[in-house]
Chains A and B, each alone.
Chain A
Amino acid sequence: MSAPIDSFPNSRNIVREVLPNGLVVLVYENFTAQSVVLTGSLTVGSSLESAVQSGLAAMTADALTRGSASYDFAAISEALESVGADLDVNGSTFTSSFSGKALGEDLPLLLDILGDVLRHPTFPENEVERLRGETLTGLNYRQQDTRYRAARAFYETLYPEGHPYHLSARGTLETVARLSVDDLRAFHRRCYGPREMILVITGAVKADEAIQAVRQRFDDWFNPDQPPRVRPQNPAPAQATRRVQVAIPGKTQSDIMLGAVGPSRLDADYHAAQLANSILGQFGMMGRIGGKVREELGLAYYAYSQIEGGVTALPWNVSAGVDPENVDLAIEKITDEIRRITRELVSDDELADNKSFFIGRLPLQLEANEGIASMIRNIETFDLGLDYLLGYRDIVGVLTREDLLKAAQHYLNPESLVVAVAGPPDA
């Protein structure tokens, strides 16, 4: 009863269409559930804003659902919630993404609202002011969040000023306070457009009907001013480990984030690095790091590593939450494991186990509409080809122990990591 791999989404069951304006629509029919899920992205993010306007792209995205030409804020909420539907838009560094869910019969409503908020937002003054207050309270609250502060300190140290990942896409208390409605309108007018936009629909809907519904709402959208994507250079590798400490009074636990710049999703050694990462800090309850830091030494409730990927190289990092007294010991033990993965070949068993893990987890990942839609969106975003999943077994299967070692050595140097710690003072 194992999953026949050709039952996965592929070129025979995904309908892909490119509209004349550049919008790519992908539809996967799935009538085993009553819901329909839509997800997608536009090439609009904080990489298109200046440092003094940090948070502009994210606030613009948040404000889209606060009012549009055909729906004011109350009408959007009423229309969606009266049928148990949901639609969100979020801005990040290089893209703004959207996701929605409804019963299959309500897809036209979801697309109506999506089309109107993306193309014709009104940015009402009162709603933008309310949103600003909510955003500022949220940012202020996050100043007390050890995990958030450790991550911010890590990113600010790893990526130099001027790099899009240096600043949070959410902006700062100072910059968000200054953003005006006119700023949001101008940013939307300049940056939002259908070129390279991706829209994936999965669920209880016929593909031809879904594509027709998308056409009706997006076919005549053009923006000749839409800027090209920003393609920043990776920062130069550091010569020595840099450690930053953030003191937050009143906390009982310290959060650690450490690591380096990892592979982009497009790098040739991405899969080798992912397998090495799995062995380092994922497989079998958080990999070697979990085994040492949590299981053997009992230092942490969580300790794991991850590669974030992305079109532009995001970090390969380790996160852990530990007793403030154990911060140095935890960092030492995590660094030991990084040293080991960059110096020694993994064992044959580890390689085989992790290949099996990567291939075997696909049926669970693709069980429901959200997982299918997310996978198809990744396939399109990173230009992996619609039959990517059919060849996945081979992509992973050919990797060798040497490939993993080489990838780990390429990205991780235990002597030049960025280490960020946020926790109580004097920890």
Chain B
Amino acid sequence: MSNVVRHVLSNGLVVLLKPVRTAPIISWWVLYRIGSRNEPTGITGASHWVEHMLFKGTDQFPAGYLDKAIDRVGGSWNAQTFFDYTAYYETLPAAEIDLALRLEADRMINARFDVEEVESERTVIISERQGAENSPMFWLGEEVQASVFRVHGYHHEIIGDMTDLRTMTRDDLYGHYRRHYMPNNAIAVAVGDFDPDEMLERIRTIYEPIPAGTAPMLFVRPEPAQQGERRVAVERHGTTSFIQLAYRVPAATDPDWFKLELLNSVLAGTDGFGGGGIDNRTTRLYKALVETALAIDVDGGMTPTIDPFMYTITVVLRDGVEHQTVQNALDEAINRVIAEGVTERELERAKKQARALFAYGTERVTMQAFWLAFAENFNSYSWFEDYVQSLESVTLDDVKEVAARYLRTQNRTVGWFVPMTDAAQDDAEQDEEDVE
């Protein structure tokens, strides 16, 4: 069924090729197996900052050249830093794809990291974090995540802690780049309108001359078992209250992951694969919280990750409703799914939704290439290709069993965002200044 072909070049670069002839375009991704999970204290946010620096030019493609070169041919390009990886892509008219192949090969080893550029980008990244801090949910999410992971590198936000963003040096960043950017630590994916033999030949020509590097030592600290429910509160200026629950769940390669995914579809609703979603107004938590006028929105989701991560449920409370009232309703719905499981009808609906959303998510070559690279990073591209089949095999008993195992209160962190009046918050800020 799948027409993905996997190659490993002599320098260790993994290459996945999937011809798709629906439009005259090609998406080219290069993903490095380095993300925020591997950042020790002091250089949190380094992976994301390095990503920014790779847009600052090489000797061959100086800063600003590529932005214009990509736009000139009507392409798109961008990058993303995640807990487990840093990835770069270009989606271009098929005839122009050579530019993407050459530029990614070049910046795999030749990014300049000029000191002035590092300093200029420091304030841009601080501004990016400040923009995120304007959202109450950023503060709550950061606090919950830090509570769930006391030891593991998933502890900190991908963008990094402000204190590290202020103090990290050019050498910290360049060292991070040199340790992790090499062909034997990367996955390259092409999806689109090409002949696979010709494409492979071109990739070999451009990438095989890049020598393999010394496999990097990864900073990984396993998270110890949780010893009971954790609770955090964030109190800041605002008008709206939020609750976030975070349950510790296994890595994406664990068979339980797919069972939990279907459980989430029934409980809070699925997000889809980037090709459009649904309103999730038939879920149990929508009925328990939104239809009862306790909340205006509820959202749940898991992220496929290398190491065990979180299943989060986030609720936006309706004005005037107390946190504890919503918490009680949430707990009642969760306890019910633990005790009773889900129904046949709910499970079948979740599977049909997954089939439709999967189809939507594969309509663009950019998204297809992303998912193949993403899955190959933590397991194999077949994790994505077989996604629907993996869900199909989940049974009612499976869902009930994972609900009981993972949705225990002892396995969760409860976060409340409590909006403060201006006067109360001003007092709190004054106290903070006094301490300093």
Contacts and interface: CB of A to CB of B under 8 A. Distances in A.
A356 B127 contact: no
Interface stretch (B144-152, B212-220, B250-258, B353-361): B353-361
A84 B351 CA distance: 9
Given A296-B120, A300-B124, A81 B319 contact: no
A356 B73 contact: yes
A249 interface: yes
A80 B64 CA distance: 46
Contacts of A267: none
A32 B22 contact: yes
Interface stretch (B129-137, B302-310, B398-406): B129-137
A363 B278 CA distance: 27
A86 B22 contact: no
A81 B24 contact: no
A369 B23 CA distance: 12
A81 B351 CA distance: 11
A326 to B, nearest CB: 8
Contact of A140 (B24, B76, B93, B239): B239
A58 interface: no
Interface in A132-178: 133-134, 136-138, 140-141, 143-146
A295 B117 CA distance: 8
B121 interface: yes
B18 to A, nearest CB: 15
A250 B425 contact: yes
A364 B74 contact: yes
A88 B281 CA distance: 12
B93 A78 contact: no
Contacts of A84: 278, 352-357
Contacts of A250: 236-238, 422, 425
Given A81-B349, A84-B278, A86-B277, A3 B24 contact: yes
Interface string B279-320: 111100000001101001100000000000000000011110
Interface stretch (A269-277, A283-291, A380-388): A283-291
A159 B365 CA distance: 42
Interface string B46-73: 0000000001000000011001100111
A370 B286 CA distance: 27
Contacts of B280: 81
A33 B22 contact: yes
Contacts of B291: 130
A266 interface: no
B140 to A, nearest CB: 14
Nearest to B345: A82
Interface in B386-406: none
Interface in A62-96: 73-74, 77-78, 80-86, 88
B277 to A, nearest CB: 7
Interface residues of B, number: 72
Given A1-B94, A86-B276, A88-B279, A249 B74 contact: no
B23 A367 contact: yes
Contacts of A251: 133-134, 237
A83 B134 contact: no
A196 to B, nearest CB: 27
A144 B356 contact: no
A360 B74 contact: yes
A308 B173 CA distance: 39
Contact of B293 (A74, A130, A300, A366): A130
B120 A102 contact: no
Given A81-B279, A253-B127, A253-B133, A360 B93 contact: yes
B369 to A, nearest CB: 13
B110 to A, nearest CB: 19
Given A81-B282, A298-B124, A323-B123, A357 B240 contact: no
Contacts of A137: 240, 296, 316-319
A252 interface: yes
Interface in B97-152: 119-128, 130-131, 133-134, 136
A261 B183 CA distance: 51
Nearest to A367: B23
A390 interface: no
Given A353-B68, A353-B71, A82 B352 contact: yes
A299 B127 contact: yes
B123 A299 contact: yes
Contacts of B136: 144
A251 B357 CA distance: 37
Interface in B195-214: none
A321 B128 CA distance: 8
B91 interface: yes
B95 interface: yes
A418 to B, nearest CB: 22
Contact of B279 (A2, A77, A302, A366): A77
A94 to B, nearest CB: 25
A141 B297 CA distance: 13
A409 B357 CA distance: 47
6 contacts: A84-B357, A134-B296, A283-B71, A301-B125, A363-B24, A368-B364
The 3 A-B pairs of least Cβ separation, nearest first, read A360-B74, A84-B356, A250-B237
Interface of B: 22-25, 55, 63-64, 67-68, 71-76, 91, 93-95, 119-128, 130-131, 133-134, 136, 193, 236-240, 275-282, 290-291, 293, 296-297, 316-319, 349, 352-357, 359-360, 363-365, 422, 425-426
Interface of A: 1-4, 32-35, 73-74, 77-78, 80-86, 88, 101-103, 129-130, 133-134, 136-138, 140-141, 143-146, 248-253, 283-285, 291, 294-302, 321-323, 353, 356-364, 366-370
Given A145-B134, A253-B127, A301-B127, 9 more contacts: A84-B357, A283-B68, A298-B120, A298-B121, A299-B123, A300-B124, A323-B130, A356-B74, A370-B276
